[in-house]
Structure 1
């Protein structure tokens, strides 16, 4: 199962949404291992941890309700003229800063294609492989239920 990433000119918001989803699911060590170098950048908002309210809907489309709170860490950095933002689940400040840095770098047309190939594509492939492995493990435990008609 491959995920198509559109070219930046076709849907820039959709593409940014896709790379941010990949970065939010990746660990700090995974991101750092794939980054060629960390360019000097300015912290606009240092990584900080807080809570957000997670909302749900009864039955998927019913009345909304507050499910509970979730810990998130956010960060904003400036790299040249681009500003990168990141919100990641949990308390990993390094992950939030690296994700924001990659977000800013990917907005630079000169770096975009190289970073997509060197960072986002490998992270996305690893995440898809992990999801596929989990699906196989779950499928192996699947139980087929059937109903027998009673005999007279």
Structure 2
């Protein structure tokens, strides 16, 4: 799946879901991974902050049973940033928590994904992030499986 520059419409082409996937992965990435990827970019992109990075609260809504009436579950801390590259592309980054640097870096990579010249590097970064998340999920599943208890019922002959 590739990132399409300037396409965030919902016309069935999948461009909207592709950018959403990229932003989801960037929001889940480790800050060190994003820093290393940006440091390795040549030439280093010229970036201007448009907004933030800043931290605030969002209201988390829930539904009983997944289909009931929505209700306000509580608040969550979120950090966000918006940047503009010297070439004009605007990127947005956000993540749960207070890591403003990670939000800024996510915004930079969102903007870089819109440029044909840097799209390949961003796709490689996204693949690396996706692999790291899959490895982490697999490791957690293995740890959980080690504590699993299987119960069985023995049938008694008195019934």
Counterpart selection for 1:87 from 81, 94, 113: 94
- Give runs of aligned pairs for residues 1-152 of structure 1, distance below 5 A: 5-6=1-2, 8=4, 10-35=13-38, 36-37=40-41, 38-79=44-85, 80-117=87-124, 119-152=125-158
Extract structure 1 runs of 4+ deviating beyond 4 A: none
Provide the alpha-carbon RMSD of the alignment: 1.7
Gaps of 5+ in 2: 8-12
- Tell me the number of residue pairs that the alignment of Structure 1 and Structure 2 aligns: 147
Gaps of 5+ in 1: none
Q: Distance in 1 between matches of 2:153 and 2:64?
A: 30
What SS does structure 1 have at the residue aligned with 2:65? helix
Q: Distance in 2 between matches of 1:33 and 1:124?
A: 16
> CA shift at 1:145, angstroms?
2.1
What SS does structure 1 have at the residue aligned with 2:151? coil
Q: Distance in 1 between matches of 2:81 and 2:57?
A: 14
Q: Does the Cα contact within 8 Å between 2:49 and 2:83 map onto a contact in 1?
A: yes
TM superposition score normalised by structure 2 = 0.85
Structure 1 residues 145, 33: CA separation in 2 closer, same or farther (over 3 Å shift)? same
Q: Distance in 1 between matches of 2:3 and 2:107?
A: 21
Structure 1 residues 95, 121: CA separation in 2 closer, same or farther (over 3 Å shift)? same
> CA shift at 1:7, angstroms?
5.6
